């Protein structure tokens, strides 16, 4: 039963260490160690324990980890910050051309310029934000 306790401690330590790494490798190895602790408690054979650890860890690293990484790295798909402003409507506060101007976007004044060279949008016109470059909104006339 001592070996099962050692496997259990190793598993818990690896899972706790995963909090610091965040790469899902230690979590998979910890799950393998917990499975090995269960195998040790049932069989008492160290060779079976090591085989269970290797099989479960390899399976988790190969099958579960890629799915977890895709799930957590993809995020919820919610646009934030300047990215959320692309596609929104604004009102020109001054004439806007390819060299500059100002629009009221999300209740705040923004520097703006038109998407197409030569376009001029008059003050008071509604515009659509096409892109955000730094602190400048690239706009086109609203349709």
Instruction: Indicate the domain borders of the chain.
Output: 2-74, 81-141
Residue tagged 């818990």 (tokens): 12
pLDDT-derived band at 28 (thresholds 50, 70, 90) equals: very high
Per-residue pLDDT for 102 more than 90?
A: yes
Q: What share of the chain is helix, strand, coil (3-state, %, to 5)?
A: 50, 25, 25
C-alpha 125/C-alpha 53 separation (Å) is 67
Q: Which CATH number fits domain 81-141: 2.40.10.340, 2.40.50.140, 3.40.50.1000, 3.60.70.12?
A: 2.40.50.140
Residue tagged 């070996």 (tokens): 3
Q: Which of 43-47, 66-70, 75-79, 133-137 comes out lowest in average pLDDT?
A: 75-79
67 C-beta neighbours (distance < 10 Å), count: 10
Per-residue pLDDT for 84 more than 90?
A: no
- Please choose, from the candidates 10, 12, 28, the residue with its C-alpha nearest in 3D space to the C-alpha of residue 68: 28
Q: Which residues contact 60 (CB under 8 A, 6 or more apart)?
A: 28, 31, 32
Residue tagged 């209740």 (tokens): 107
At residue 76, the pLDDT reads: 66
C-alpha 36/C-alpha 5 separation (Å) is 10
Is 130 within 8 Å of 138 (Cβ atoms)?
A: yes
pLDDT-derived band at 77 (thresholds 50, 70, 90) equals: low
Locate the DSSP E strands across the chain: 89-92, 102-105, 108-114, 126-133, 136-141
In sequence order, what DSSP letters do the residues of 25-40 get, joined into one string? Answer: HHHHHHHHHHHHHHHH
């Amino acid at each position: 039963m001592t070996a099962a306790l050692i496997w259990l401690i190793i598993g818990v330590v690896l899972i706790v260490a995963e909090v610091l790494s965040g790469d899902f490798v230690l979590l998979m190895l910890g799950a393998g160690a917990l499975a090995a602790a269960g195998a040790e408690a049932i069989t008492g054979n160290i060779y079976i324990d090591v085989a269970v650890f290797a099989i479960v860890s390899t399976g988790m690293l190969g099958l579960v980890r890629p799915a977890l990484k895709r799930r957590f790295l993809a995020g919820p798909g919610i646009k934030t910050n300047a990215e959320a402003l692309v596609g929104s409507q604004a009102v020109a506060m001054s004439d806007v051309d390819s060299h500059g101007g100002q629009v009221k976007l999300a209740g705040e004044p923004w520097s703006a310029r038109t998407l197409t060279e030569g376009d001029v949008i008059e003050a008071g016109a509604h515009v659509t934000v096409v892109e955000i470059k730094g602190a400048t909104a690239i706009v086109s006339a609203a349709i």
